[in-house]
Amino acid sequence: MDKNDFLIELSESDRTAYGRVYFAAQTAQQQIFSAVWALESQVNGGGFESFFENEDPALVAFAPEALQTIGAVTCADIVRRAASAAPDLLDDLDSEFYAYLDDLTDLLYKYVAANPDAFGPATGGA
Protein backbone atom coordinates (compact mmCIF):
# COMPACT_ATOMS: atom_id res chain seq x y z
CA MET A 1 0.00 0.00 0.00
CA ASP A 2 1.44 3.40 -0.90
CA LYS A 3 1.13 6.58 1.16
CA ASN A 4 -1.82 7.96 -0.79
CA ASP A 5 -3.78 4.70 -0.54
CA PHE A 6 -3.01 4.58 3.18
CA LEU A 7 -4.29 8.15 3.69
CA ILE A 8 -7.46 7.45 1.71
CA GLU A 9 -8.11 4.34 3.78
CA LEU A 10 -7.37 6.27 6.97
CA SER A 11 -9.74 9.09 6.02
CA GLU A 12 -12.55 6.57 5.59
CA SER A 13 -11.83 4.72 8.83
CA ASP A 14 -12.84 5.28 12.43
CA ARG A 15 -9.21 6.22 13.19
CA THR A 16 -9.95 9.75 12.05
CA ALA A 17 -12.67 12.18 13.01
CA TYR A 18 -12.76 13.53 9.45
CA GLY A 19 -16.35 13.81 8.28
CA ARG A 20 -17.69 12.10 11.41
CA VAL A 21 -17.08 14.56 14.25
CA TYR A 22 -17.83 18.29 14.23
CA PHE A 23 -14.53 20.07 13.54
CA ALA A 24 -14.48 22.07 16.78
CA ALA A 25 -14.92 18.85 18.80
CA GLN A 26 -11.91 17.11 17.24
CA THR A 27 -8.53 16.79 18.94
CA ALA A 28 -5.71 19.01 17.69
CA GLN A 29 -4.15 16.14 15.72
CA GLN A 30 -7.48 15.20 14.17
CA GLN A 31 -8.14 18.84 13.24
CA ILE A 32 -4.82 19.00 11.41
CA PHE A 33 -5.64 15.85 9.44
CA SER A 34 -9.20 17.02 8.69
CA ALA A 35 -8.13 20.49 7.56
CA VAL A 36 -5.43 19.23 5.20
CA TRP A 37 -7.61 16.41 3.87
CA ALA A 38 -10.65 18.65 3.31
CA LEU A 39 -8.57 21.36 1.69
CA GLU A 40 -6.95 19.02 -0.79
CA SER A 41 -10.22 17.24 -1.57
CA GLN A 42 -12.22 20.41 -2.09
CA VAL A 43 -9.62 22.39 -4.03
CA ASN A 44 -8.91 19.45 -6.32
CA GLY A 45 -12.65 18.98 -6.83
CA GLY A 46 -13.66 22.57 -7.49
CA GLY A 47 -10.95 25.03 -6.55
CA PHE A 48 -10.73 27.35 -3.59
CA GLU A 49 -14.26 28.52 -4.26
CA SER A 50 -15.50 25.00 -3.46
CA PHE A 51 -13.35 24.84 -0.34
CA PHE A 52 -14.64 28.15 1.00
CA GLU A 53 -18.28 27.39 0.20
CA ASN A 54 -18.45 23.77 1.39
CA GLU A 55 -16.30 23.53 4.49
CA ASP A 56 -16.83 24.56 8.10
CA PRO A 57 -15.58 28.16 8.49
CA ALA A 58 -13.49 27.09 11.51
CA LEU A 59 -11.77 24.43 9.39
CA VAL A 60 -11.14 26.94 6.59
CA ALA A 61 -9.62 29.42 9.04
CA PHE A 62 -7.44 26.69 10.58
CA ALA A 63 -6.16 25.26 7.29
CA PRO A 64 -3.07 27.51 6.98
CA GLU A 65 -1.99 26.61 10.52
CA ALA A 66 -2.55 22.91 9.81
CA LEU A 67 -0.45 23.15 6.66
CA GLN A 68 2.28 25.00 8.52
CA THR A 69 2.28 22.29 11.19
CA ILE A 70 2.91 19.49 8.69
CA GLY A 71 5.62 21.53 6.93
CA ALA A 72 3.62 22.69 3.89
CA VAL A 73 4.79 26.29 4.20
CA THR A 74 4.29 27.26 0.55
CA CYS A 75 0.80 25.80 0.47
CA ALA A 76 -0.08 27.58 3.73
CA ASP A 77 0.88 30.87 2.07
CA ILE A 78 -1.30 30.10 -0.96
CA VAL A 79 -4.30 29.33 1.27
CA ARG A 80 -3.79 32.53 3.28
CA ARG A 81 -3.73 34.56 0.07
CA ALA A 82 -6.79 32.75 -1.29
CA ALA A 83 -8.74 33.45 1.90
CA SER A 84 -8.30 37.18 1.42
CA ALA A 85 -8.35 37.31 -2.39
CA ALA A 86 -11.05 38.73 -4.57
CA PRO A 87 -13.07 35.93 -6.22
CA ASP A 88 -11.67 36.77 -9.68
CA LEU A 89 -8.16 35.97 -8.43
CA LEU A 90 -8.97 32.49 -7.13
CA ASP A 91 -8.30 30.77 -10.47
CA ASP A 92 -4.66 31.92 -10.33
CA LEU A 93 -4.35 30.67 -6.76
CA ASP A 94 -5.95 27.36 -7.76
CA SER A 95 -3.18 27.01 -10.36
CA GLU A 96 -0.52 27.74 -7.74
CA PHE A 97 -2.04 25.10 -5.48
CA TYR A 98 -2.13 22.52 -8.30
CA ALA A 99 1.62 22.98 -8.84
CA TYR A 100 2.09 21.09 -5.55
CA LEU A 101 5.30 22.82 -4.48
CA ASP A 102 4.71 21.05 -1.16
CA ASP A 103 4.10 17.30 -1.39
CA LEU A 104 0.94 17.19 0.73
CA THR A 105 0.65 13.40 0.54
CA ASP A 106 4.15 12.86 1.86
CA LEU A 107 3.90 15.58 4.50
CA LEU A 108 0.50 14.44 5.78
CA TYR A 109 1.68 10.83 5.84
CA LYS A 110 4.75 11.83 7.89
CA TYR A 111 2.51 13.75 10.29
CA VAL A 112 0.19 10.77 10.75
CA ALA A 113 3.15 8.39 11.17
CA ALA A 114 4.61 10.70 13.85
CA ASN A 115 1.30 10.61 15.79
CA PRO A 116 0.41 6.92 16.20
CA ASP A 117 -1.47 7.64 19.44
CA ALA A 118 -3.96 9.69 17.42
CA PHE A 119 -4.14 7.62 14.22
CA GLY A 120 -2.73 4.17 14.91
CA PRO A 121 0.31 2.76 13.13
CA ALA A 122 1.15 4.06 9.65
CA THR A 123 1.46 1.26 7.14
CA GLY A 124 1.78 3.04 3.80
CA GLY A 125 5.49 3.71 3.64
CA ALA A 126 6.03 2.51 0.08
Q: What is the predicted pLDDT for the residue at 125?
A: 63
**3-state SS string for 54-97:** HCCHHHHHHHHHHHHHHCCHHHHHHHHHHHHCCHHHHHHHHHHH
How many whole angstroms separate alpha carbon 31 and alpha carbon 91? 27
Percentage of the residues of the chain whose pLDDT score is greater than 70: 98
> Could you tell me if residue 112 is inside a domain?
yes
- Residue 109, amino acid: Y
Q: How many domains does the chain have?
A: 1
> Could you tell me if residue 88 is inside a domain?
yes
> Could you tell me if residue 32 is inside a domain?
yes
User: pLDDT tens digits, residue range 49-87?
Assistant: 999 999 999 999 999 999 999 999 999 999 999 999 999
- The reported pTM is 0.94
> Could you tell me if residue 124 is inside a domain?
no
How many whole angstroms separate alpha carbon 91 and alpha carbon 112? 30
Ramachandran region, residue 120 (left: φ > 0; alpha: ψ -120 to 50; beta: rest): left
> Could you tell me if residue 17 is inside a domain?
yes
